[in-house]
Structure 1
């Protein structure tokens, strides 16, 4: 079957390779099989260069010290010394995992990203996280679904999830290979890189905008 020439300008990637790290509490690598899960956590005071901020021309994220290269298991991170203090959840206080949540018969794919508070205090997640897919042709930023995003309090030891949806490649062509996913918690500038647990490729699309969507915090199943 003929595969259209890949045109990431049509996917708005050429102009949108930057990470969608959250601004004012909104936005927030290896390939894995659909059944696998990916996880990572990072220290609260990481060393190294500063993370890319939203709206910059940076097309890649600096992997955190706690990133798991094979996407399995959570690397140990440390939360802040203070306890019982409310405020925005810091990347270093969160263990971030991802798993395939596509249901048989669905017309599109779904990945659930879970944020678990392993810090010493309750904290707040204000709305949308930032999500960027790493592909063989460059970074692809997920767009918000537009659902209302309410700040939510994440209790110490509790978890909350949000969904990332994408079109399944049923064209018969090779499509666009996904090599990883970068997640930035709401209100944060530091990101973590996870293995991608969903389908291996995206279909080549000639329409405008990103075919990948991210829902607000709480838009997927939640665990404790």
Structure 2
């Protein structure tokens, strides 16, 4: 009996050891399963890689976007808002302002003024033609009557305007000339009369005169003031030499 009990006890111990071993094996399997958790690390690594790739894509996208923006800035600055277009418009507008071709008035300093005798034989009155030549290098506008004074040994005689002739406004090109006539009575008596010593011409719309040598008849007749006056025609009313 005692032997039988020992045998049973031994079997019980063996069974317990076997059960423990099985449990140990099961725990090892569980531990293996627990250790297999690191197999999820590649997933995490893969997710990080994907996230990194997304970040890289975002960075690339940002760089591309930035490059595109920089390219747009260059175009805008260089073409659309650059000084070439703006300057071209200003320049076109200026030279259009200045480039409009509107000429200013002919000033005394713009003109070369000369006088010549243009008397035609048999006419009751003598005449002198005054030439106004534009020597300024640019166009200028001239119109109206010049001021004309004859200097004499008895004082100054101012010419009167010929009222029946109208004034014409003209653009006088550089190097071009226009003319106006002076008509006057001259001494036919053989006496000295009133000697003419000079001619003073003031261009239209000017206050600066030019004094010229008198090219015409030497003297005016002596009158009581009721005689024929010295007269001046408007600019453009006489041709060259007459």
TM bucket, shorter chain: 0.5 to 0.7
Q: Which residue of 2 aligns with 1:185?
A: 203
2:148 and 2:211 map into 1 onto residues whose CA distance is 10
Higher strand fraction (1 or 2): 1
Matched, 1:174 2:192: yes
Q: Which runs of 5+ in 1 are unaligned?
A: 1-81
Q: How does 1:71-86 map to 2 (within 5 A)?
A: 85-86=102-103
Once the two structures are superposed, residues 37-57 of structure 1 have per-residue CA deviations (whole angstroms, 9 ceiling, x without a partner) of xxxxxxxxxxxxxxxxxxxxx
Q: TM-score, normalised by structure 2?
A: 0.55
Matched, 1:89 2:106: yes
2:194 and 2:145 map into 1 onto residues whose CA distance is 25
Q: Which residue of 2 aligns with 1:121?
A: 138
Task: Give the number of equivalent residue pairs.
Answer: 142
1:208 and 1:218 map into 2 onto residues whose CA distance is 29
Q: Which has the larger radius of gyration?
A: 2
Q: How does 1:177-216 map to 2 (within 5 A)?
A: 177-208=195-226, 211-216=229-234
2:227 and 2:168 map into 1 onto residues whose CA distance is 25
Matched position secondary structure for 1:92: helix
The Cα of 1:85 is off from its aligned counterpart by 5.0
Q: TM-score, normalised by structure 1?
A: 0.60
The Cα of 1:211 is off from its aligned counterpart by 1.3
Q: Which residue of 1 aligns with 2:116?
A: 99
Matched, 1:153 2:171: yes
- Decide whether the 8 Å contact of 1:180 with 1:196 is kept in 2: yes
Large movers: runs of 4+ above 6 Å: none
Query: Once superposed, what is the RMSD of the aligned Cα atoms?
Result: 1.9
Higher helix fraction (1 or 2): 2
